[in-house]
Amino acid sequence: MRSIWFCFKLVEGCLGCLCMGIQIEGFLNVAVSQDLYVYITIFSVFTCISFFGCLNICMDHDPTLVSEMIWNGFACFGYTLTAILTMYHAEKDLYLIHLKGVEIIEEAAEHPFFGYSKFQAITGIVTGVVHLMHAVLAGDVVFVEADRRSGEKPRIILYLGGLWFHTHLMKFKWFRRFEGPNLSARTG
């Protein structure tokens, strides 16, 4: 299952870098009065946590699923909050306040602050959803493993990219070693 957690963390880290890039590019080139440091702090903290988690998995340490649930729940909340705050600031922009109805659609697209805000909000929500999927999957594995110990359910097996793709990757020694001793002994 290490490959699943590694892919989640890698995608989360790359999306976090995209959010930071949009924040830096957009809001340093447009004169606005926003809480720049709040956004950069949220983006950088959770991006660093994701990339350090990737490094931890590459160093042959299994992630702790309860901490995965908690951190990714906080990250989902943080990214969603930044998306909401970004659109709140865009709505309160002096230029956009005076536009009504159809004018918003026509003129707001040309206004650079609105464009950066919209793109940052979209990427923030997408990143938050990926963190939410990671947290829910980790929670599901934790609860299924707890039920399995009591004898109620079979072991949960996760496949990277589906059964066919995962089986194809299991032919490679590096992937079997990356997945860990439990899975390589069970499938190969």
Q: Which two tokens stand for residue 47?
A: 């991006």
Q: How far is 18 from 112, CA to CA, in rounded Å?
A: 18
Cα separation, 86 vs 120, in Å, equals 7
Block residue for tokens 């995209």? 18
Closest CA to 94 of 113, 71, 75: 113
pLDDT in tens, 85-109: 888 877 776 555 555 555 555 555 5
Instruction: Specify whether the CB–CB gap between 27 and 116 falls below 8 A.
Output: yes
Distance CA 96, CA 94 (A): 6
Percent of the chain topping pLDDT 90:
28
pTM score, whole prediction: 0.79
DSSP structure class, residue 59: T
The helix (H) or strand (E) run that includes residue 94 is helix 94-97
Lowest-pLDDT range of 18-32, 48-62, 71-85: 18-32
pLDDT tens-digit series, residues 25-48: 877 766 655 567 788 889 999 999
pLDDT of residue 76: 95
- DSSP annotation of 76 reads H
